[in-house]
Chains A and B, each alone.
Chain A
Amino acid sequence: MWPRSPTTYLLASSTGESTTMDAAGLAPVVVSADGARGGQFVGFRLADQTYVFRIERIQEIVIPTALARVPDVPAYIEGVTNLRGTIVPIINLRLLFGLEAKPADAETRTVVVNVAARTLGCTVDSVTRVMRIAAEQIHAAPDTVATSGRSFIEGFARIGDELHIVLDVESLLDPAKLEMVHRMGMTQFDG
């Protein structure tokens, strides 16, 4: 369930910041009638939209450190950084989604995820909180979303007044599909 990192490292950032989320992965998985799975999610913001990743996909959340820029790669790849001895590429989700770039500030975080035996970091505006979303709260994405090539959107969850977009980390950050994700983007996306 935790593909690469020992649980003790979970969500403990190299800078000392940490968020407690023990036994998160052991939460019972509830499956709703339309196939969406419930569970625990980590919310983050890009521009004025909240997105969530499934917690079991996340290795840790860190405060961005110095980056080395890498040439000859798309602009949404900010560069590579040192994560406790592993050289990890950092993808700026704003740029990936075709949103306007925003300089890093005190809220900026790097969400480190594991995709297909690789580790990579995603720069987001801020991390909001860990939340439990029941399966019935998640509405599968309409077919038009999937057929439009945005299969990386797993569904939508309404929490309070706000609509959260549930992202499928695997299809979002699959190295082979990144370019397509970038082309589709989120800019013309009207939910």
Chain B
Amino acid sequence: MSDHEGSASGDFPAEEMSEYLRLYLDETGEQLDALVNTLLALEADPTNAAGLNEAFRLIHSIKGSSALLGLDRITTLTHHLESHFERLRSGRRVLDGEVMNVVLRCIDFLRTCSEHLRTGEPLDSAGDLLDEVKALERSGAGVAAAPPVTDSRARTTGIMPGKDLASQTERVANDWRVRVEFAPALPMAEMKAELILTRLEQFGAIVDLQPPRSTLRDIVGLPAFEAVLRSAVAAEDVAAACRPDGVVDVVVESVPPGTRAVAVAISGADEGGAEDVEGHDDEPLPPNSARGPEPDLPHVQPARPEKGRASAGLVETVRVDVHRLDVLLNLTGELVVNRARLSQLAGDMAPAFGKTTLAVRTQGVSDALKEVRDNVDPALAVTVTDVLEQMETLHQHARLWDDSRQRFAELMAAIDQLARVSDSLQRGILNTRMVPVGPLFSRFRRTVRDIAMELGKRVHLDIVGEKTELDKRMIDEIGDPLNHLVRNCIDHGIEPIDVRLRHGKPEVATVRLVAVHRGNSVFITVEDDGGGIDTARVGQIAVDRGLLAADTVEALAERDLIELIWQPGLSTARAVSDISGRGVGMDIVRTKIAALNGSIDVESTRGRGTRFTIRLPLTLTITRCMLFRLPQGVVAVPIENVREIVSITGQAQVRVSGRQICDVRGEMLPVVTADDLFSWSGEPSAATSVSDTVVILTANRRTVGLRVDALLGGQDIVVKPLDEQFAHVRGLGGASILGDGSVCLLLDVANCLDTIQRADVGEANASSESQRSHS
């Protein structure tokens, strides 16, 4: 592979690259638009500080993202523009017509670049424009108050047009050999080298460079470089420009013209060599041509099409307010519901249009009547004639009816078609809302670094599955809980370094963030290799805080002790810190996730680590549910909360502390009714005959049976939050409109089971207390 490809996609797989490129193009397009507006405002008021700052900021961010993608030409141009605006900002130069023209042409050039990147064409050279921008810079430098970079002659000529100045500067220029050494293993040394070179280019031309510019970026851990700079500035200024962080040594010495940098010189490196180096890529390379092994083929724009990406081009995107998508999704939901209603109505009507021979029969009756009429006495015949006339009308209707059968078949076909279209529409709209979790996950790199530093721990964040997609709304909502979990892992989970070393663990702990798509759900796990949950401490705290009685805690299994972390008011951090430990965390995390119709589980092994697994539905708004009839009305239960449906007919009624227990294939499960879950106002429903149908509900590793009157089958429902118009009711996840237009409530099973558990624990506490008071 040539360097070109190496530099183009070395950092990213091609697919990911194109994803970044798409983002880059969207962003840059917006920034260019904003820049033009800002410039136009500046044209009227060239010294407006806010405007100049804004322009500077925009150019800076375009430069930043271009550099990230290795779009060198754009980076170089924007870099020069940026430094020019820096000068405008500081008042050393005024934004006059000349500057404005050059800047606007640069913007046009950048637009063209974006266009080419989008279509996959090679980029144009920025050579001339770059010259002009540089010329502006030099003329600017001349006007500047006292930059100690030019001798008096240069300063006096500073008022002359840029080009002339440049040539004059050239005339008095020396050649400086500049050798810069970086600290060993300095991260991003090659970027620093670029930075230094760009700075040097402001002083004059880089006549020679070793290693060649084209390969510079590919040398990881660049130890040093050497350049020959032709410039009129003083040696100390050159040296000062070469001193970013990480440079350990700079040698600047005057050399006779024509001196080369040590080692192989690149071809064509004469006067204006820097531009020439970039100028190499003028001749557009055919996208898939065998580029051969030329070692110093200059790396051009890396977004150049590769491996078949050329013809595809890039997809254009539109940024849309997410609320508009919400509205669309809601409307689609309505459409789906209405379609269901239509299907239901048509289904109900179908028997009426079944295969009948109504017209044939009415015809038969008419014929029979005619015969009767001809053979009865005239007095009766009059009556029969009347009946015959009625029969005739009936017959006509019957024929109409028969004809409509065909129409009805067409109606059914149309409804089927509508069903297909509305389903695709719904899927399509849902897809528009899906975004990858990558950017969300990446945010945690910073969080992890900061917290780890603060706590004096060393943590590596491992991210897996960043391309997994989730509903946009879900991504927005899951950020906080995830943040809490990640903080928790580092703060509570991961031991201090000395403890880790004592236990023979690596000094650098690992926190893993994993997203996977399985079935209708996305699973996100947050995992650490820390000390695991200290169950003894958790139990102790629960007792100390008065959440549970000591003997209750003693009786709890390890598993149940771990589950205590979800209790409000429990935190095992020894000190309350900024990071976590206010004891409001985990229960809120669980509540938030439950509000997203998701669930969270924890597994922990002492000394090995803790893993939180979050299950989220793919989308917030559509949930696959089972529908049941309760005495109080129809309820929906998310399908993943329904373990099974059993009949407990004929089972002996066993009651343990007020709770009925049933035997499901040897497993003893509590069975509750809707009245145990909620208090229902209004007249008590006439639930005289107790149903024996029990739905086994499960969430957060708890299982309870719920008696229902009837099963109504499975259905995809569009969930609407209750609190939009009303109030949140604990234990309800929302409501939905069914095919017949009626409303059903969605059970939030996790919360319902919590209610049951609390009731039971309350009972247990009360009874243990009463025992204690007896003894």
Contact = CB atoms under 8 A, between A and B. Distances in A.
A73 B725 contact: no
A32 B603 CA distance: 70
Contacts, number: 84
A77 B681 CA distance: 9
A71 B725 contact: no
Contacts of B634: 68
Given A80-B735, A82-B742, A82-B743, A70 B725 contact: no
A73 B727 contact: yes
Contacts of B333: 85
Contacts of B678: 71-72
Contacts of A82: 737, 741-743
A70 B731 contact: no
B737 A87 contact: yes
Contacts of B727: 73, 89, 175
A86 interface: yes
A68 B735 CA distance: 9
B730 interface: yes
B637 to A, nearest CB: 15
A118 interface: yes
Residue of B337, B726, B730, B742 with most partner-chain A CB within 10 A: B726
Contact of B742 (A68, A70, A119): A68
A66 B632 contact: no
B679 interface: yes
Contacts of A88: 725-726
A75 B681 contact: yes
Most chain B C-beta atoms within 10 Å of own C-beta, residue among A70, A74, A79, A80? A70
A72 B720 contact: no
A69 interface: yes
A87 B680 contact: no
A73 B681 contact: yes
B729 interface: yes
Nearest to B685: A69
Contacts of B681: 69, 71, 73-75, 77
A42 B624 CA distance: 43
B212 to A, nearest CB: 65
Please tell me the size bucket of the interface on B: 20 to 34
B632 A71 contact: yes
Interface in B704-753: 720, 722, 724-727, 729-732, 735, 737, 741-745
B334 interface: yes
Contacts of A74: 681
Nearest to B330: A85
B682 interface: yes
Given A80-B722, A85-B737, A68 B743 contact: yes
- By secondary structure, the B interface counts as mixed
B337 to A, nearest CB: 8
A13 interface: no
B633 interface: yes
B729 A71 contact: yes
Interface string B443-469: 000000000000000000000000000
A124 B674 CA distance: 29
Given A71-B677, A72-B731, A81-B743, A89 B726 contact: yes
Contacts of A120: 725-726
Contacts of B732: 70-71
B727 to A, nearest CB: 7
B725 A89 contact: yes
Interface string A1-33: 000000000000000000000000000000000
B250 to A, nearest CB: 65
Contacts of A81: 743
A79 B635 CA distance: 13
A58 B681 CA distance: 27
A65 B737 CA distance: 13
B330 to A, nearest CB: 7
A67 B681 CA distance: 14
A69 B741 contact: no
Nearest to B678: A71
A66 B680 CA distance: 17
A69 B722 contact: no
A87 B722 CA distance: 7
Given A71-B632, A87-B743, A119 B725 contact: yes
A86 B680 CA distance: 23
Nearest to B736: A87
Interface string B680-711: 11100000000000000000000000000000
13 contacts: A68-B742, A69-B633, A69-B682, A71-B677, A72-B679, A72-B729, A72-B730, A79-B633, A82-B741, A85-B330, A85-B337, A86-B720, A118-B724
Interface of A: 65-75, 77-82, 85-89, 118-120, 175
In the A-B complex, the 7 residue pairs with the smallest Cβ-Cβ separation, listed nearest first, are: A71-B678, A75-B681, A68-B743, A89-B726, A85-B334, A66-B742, A82-B737
Interface of B: 330, 333-334, 337, 632-634, 674, 677-682, 720, 722, 724-727, 729-732, 735, 737, 741-745
Given A73-B727, A87-B726, 5 more contacts: A71-B729, A80-B726, A86-B720, A87-B735, A89-B727
